Amino acid sequence: MPFFNAKKLEELQSIAGGDHAFLQKIGETYIAQFDRKFPELKDAVAKQDAEQTEKLAHLLKGASYSVAADDLADDLADDFELLEKEAESGSMTGTQEIVDRIEQCMVEFRVVWLDVFTGKNLDALR
């Protein structure tokens, strides 16, 4: 399975018009948003706050789709969607496991995205 959603990645590359600095900025912006909001999400899950969990999972799901991060090894955007649906239903069972998967997947995302823009792993975009 490719790391990034190929179709969405092509759209991003088209929008960037070959400007790798712009693509790098998109990734950095996503990572910064994740770093700000994920601790809040973890806290909401720990407190079993379904409303806040749903809200934050929805926000981060959309952001993940925007950087084509829905074909990651553990399907980052899909895990946010699953977390959102669990919270929406009022069931918070299994949410900690989902949060743990998301956290691990973000480690992978950071490595691949940053490798691509330091020129170490350009094939990761394919």
CA–centroid distance for 59 within its chain: 10
Q: What is the pTM of this model?
A: 0.79
pLDDT tens per residue across span 45-84: 999 999 999 999 999 988 887 777 765 544 778 888 899 9
Contact 12/23 with Cβ under 8 angstroms?
yes
> What DSSP state is assigned to residue 72?
S
